[in-house]
Structure 1
Amino acid sequence: MSQTEFNDPLWRQGISGAQMLFVAFGALVLMPLITGMDPNVALFTAGIGTLLFQLVTKRQVPVFLASSFAFIAPILAAKGEFGLPAVMGGVIAAGLVYVLLSALVKLRGPSFIDRLLPPVVIAPVIISIGLALSPVAVNMAMGKAGDGSVELVPYSTAMMISMPALITTLLVAVLGRGIFRLVPILSGIAVGCAIAAVLGVIDTSAVDQAAWLAVPNFVTPELHWGAILYMVPVALAPAIEHIGGVVAIGNVTGKNFVKKPGLHRTLLGDGLATSAAGLFGGPPNTTYAEVTGAVMLTKSYNPKIMTWAAVFAIALAFIGKFGVALQSIPVPVMGGILCLLFGSIAVVGLNTLIRHQVDLSEARNLIIVSVTLVFGIGGMVIGGKEFALSGISLCAISALLLNLVLPGGAGWRKRDAEEA
């Protein structure tokens, strides 16, 4: 890698930074819209989180951090039971899980993560996250609230909006070329909103009344053990995805970021970014694969570009009309796109099992995956009103405990060695 790539003029860095934010934008704002958060706060915390990550990693890794879809299910559940301030307390605690993992990696090396959280543990949790959310996507696509309790848009109208939005997202993801291929979500939103406008579903009155400049609706966090228990176990899955993201960007740039700045630093940066998001009322942060794809496509390896992307995100957060316009995106538009996104999350889990050749004919692996999936998708609850574990949080803890308790923990690795 030549040094000239790190001496780009400021104007070029700024343009590349804006391009990276554009690529991340669709998923960045969709997650807070699904969970009822302020998208402007999500923009702000994505920018702050990316800057914190760069500070911790000494600005060596060209990644952008923004809203994590892995936390949607626990956020929706905890918000309904404890309220948004308590959810933010849980987000802070989830960030501290990354910090703890960072310390353990520093003390015991990166291989420790693989022993504690092997693919047979993480994969079914990721599958559960995607499939447990599938009813939310379907309900929204049909014009209902996420829980299906209220019809927000008539069914026939909703389907005329959601299906074209979904089809557009699919076509752009499969047939798109260049940078265009990296923005399928944004393309789906654009087409869906255009159709919704023609059908008279979009209400722009709130946008007209909103101020151009406004402080985002920050939320003061509250500590509530119930909400923390919803959030903390789920942090294990995106922590593993974080490692995959760091390895991926290393492959793109030709550098080993696991060694320098070190996996302990990248985990710490991601954890601080997530906890900082909770302090302001934003969603948990994670590294974005879309942006890594854009880095590979444009060969923009300079980490300073992500600084510009973060600054632009923070600036957009204070444009009041922009945030209100995002909140006016009709439910069917989001639902159509989520039919693909939530399914994609589940496929990531399936691919994890396949890629690591986990032998599901072995009783130990079969038990871990089976119990985890049923607990996560079925909505199992253990506990009472004051202290309860359920859904994704329960399935994550169950998978972790089963892996620690059941004998033969290295079974799937031995199988690989024998076949080799």
Structure 2
Amino acid sequence: MVTNQTSQASDQIKPSWLDIVTGAQMLFVAFGALVLVPLLTGLNPNVALFTAGVGTLLFQITTRGKVPVFLASSFAFIAPISYGVAQWGIPATLGGVVAAGLVFMFFAFLVKINGTNIIERILPPVVTGPIIMVIGLSLAPVAVNMAMGNSIETNLPKYQLIIISMASLITTLVVAIRAKGFVKLVPIISGIIVGYALSCWFGLVDFTPVIKAPWFSIPDFTFPSFKWQAVLYMIPIVIAPTIEHVGDIMAIGSVTGKDYTKNPGLHKTLWGDGLATSAAGFLGGPPCITYAEVIGAVTLTRNFKTRIMTWAAIWAIIMSFVGKVGAFLSSIPTVVMGGIMVLLFGSIASVGVNILIKNKVDLSISRNMCITALVLVFGIGGMLFDFGNYVLQGISLCGIVAIILNLILPRN
């Protein structure tokens, strides 16, 4: 009996070539959005690869290797990181990312002492739905400007830039809706490939940086500084990824037939996300949380081995030291990304709408209508509260307003 258990344990630890290849496949599924966040926010894509790998390993250690997921950045952080970089610079924004990881850990502590329902009490659908809608809709002008080519300097006529962005968008749509099997899991990569090919055809891509870049290069790590303005701005952003995390953990549990909210426990998985996010912030990468696309790949392949995610993490770390990878990713024109962002940010807003519909939030009730209305108008309209040295606006303002209104408004 002991010998059999030892043999099974040894087999679980011993890697195989198939696991190594499958791990690379999982990284490929995550690759599109994994590098999309740093490319759109000004962070280093090689560092993002490194921190995603390290974050996944930290998550596995925290959850004792029981949950087969890969960690990468949430799209909910694109807007706040971009704003933070423009407002306070990259180091201060990274300090906010570290603080965001600590908020994940705080939620983990609340779940540990109060149970999983505490998240629902603090962040009910009437709070999370409108906030997620604002995250997507507030980015709409950015996506449209990028898709129109307003953010790049080129002699190409506008119609050619529109052709590139719309080709990227249409390809992403077609793959997401019509594709079958594994291809359906990589719509973003498909859109980038088509858009990049057209960009090369129109002469928009400069390959000089790729040619000059070394094959081996240590990632350009950036270490955080801490400004209370950036920290306070970033903290409310954690609301949306927290809800996303709970959904992801339940989704992977339904696929594998295990209840990960009990074993290892939702507090453990939230703690793993927080630890990975803070570690990423300390090294210069975007936040690391559980990643839905990889859950789709697990569903498709029916391969539930956690060590496959370990190999995906190892592949990410190895690729982060290939200098030409970062140079190639940086050569992708922003107009290509703009086409994909039109769909991406719209889908984020749609998630918020779906939360309200799925949970049957009755907007004819004055309480629910007031919370939703104020969050949408404050967020999309650009409301700000100026306190001198600190300005409260955007998603952080919406998050605070929604939570306070939910707590103080009468429920009857």
Q: Does 1:13 align with 2:19?
A: yes
| Structure 1 residue aligned with 2:385 | 382
Instruction: Tell me which amino acid in the other structure corresponds to 1:51.
Output: L
Q: Does 1:75 align with 2:57?
A: no
Quote the RMSD (CA, aligned, Å): 1.4
1:317 offset after TM fit, Å?
Answer: 0.5
SS at match of 1:329: coil
| Structure 2 residue aligned with 1:41 | 47
The one-character-per-residue Cα deviations of 1:385-414 (angstroms, maximum 9, x if unpaired) are 411211011101111111111111xx6xxx
Counterpart Cα distance in 1 of 2:88 and 2:253: 40
| Structure 2 residue aligned with 1:212 | 215
SS at match of 2:392: strand
| Structure 1 residue aligned with 2:144 | 138
Q: Does 1:324 align with 2:327?
A: yes
- The count of corresponding residues between Structure 1 and Structure 2 is 403
Counterpart Cα distance in 1 of 2:373 and 2:70: 35
1:10 offset after TM fit, Å?
Answer: 1.4
1:156 offset after TM fit, Å?
Answer: 1.8
Counterpart Cα distance in 2 of 1:55 and 1:400: 33
Instruction: Tell me which amino acid in the other structure corresponds to 2:119.
Output: I
Instruction: Tell me which amino acid in the other structure corresponds to 1:74.
Output: P
| Structure 2 residue aligned with 1:416 | none
| Structure 1 residue aligned with 2:133 | 127
Counterpart Cα distance in 1 of 2:69 and 2:382: 34
Q: Does 1:112 align with 2:118?
A: yes
| Structure 1 residue aligned with 2:175 | 172
The one-character-per-residue Cα deviations of 1:101-124 (angstroms, maximum 9, x if unpaired) are 000100000011101110110011
The one-character-per-residue Cα deviations of 1:243-266 (angstroms, maximum 9, x if unpaired) are 011000000110000000000000
1:78 offset after TM fit, Å?
Answer: 1.3
Counterpart Cα distance in 2 of 1:36 and 1:196: 21
Q: TM-score, normalised by structure 1?
A: 0.94
After TM superposition, the structure 1 = structure 2 runs for residues 202-351 of structure 1, keeping only pairs within 5 Å, are 202-351=205-354
Shift in alpha-carbon separation, 1:37–1:9, aligned structure 2, 3 A: closer
Shift in alpha-carbon separation, 1:325–1:139, aligned structure 2, 3 A: same
Moved over 4 A (4+): 3-9, 150-154
Identity score, percent:
57
The one-character-per-residue Cα deviations of 1:46-92 (angstroms, maximum 9, x if unpaired) are 10110110000001001111021101111111111110000000000
1:384 offset after TM fit, Å?
Answer: 3.2
The one-character-per-residue Cα deviations of 1:344-398 (angstroms, maximum 9, x if unpaired) are 1011111111111111110000011111111111221112341121101110111
Which sections of structure 2, spanning at least 5 residues, go unmatched? 1-7
| Structure 2 residue aligned with 1:184 | 187
CA contact (8 A) 1:45 1:280 kept: yes
Counterpart Cα distance in 1 of 2:394 and 2:224: 23
The one-character-per-residue Cα deviations of 1:232-279 (angstroms, maximum 9, x if unpaired) are 011111111100110000001100000000000000000011001100
1:306 offset after TM fit, Å?
Answer: 0.5
Counterpart Cα distance in 2 of 1:165 and 1:129: 22
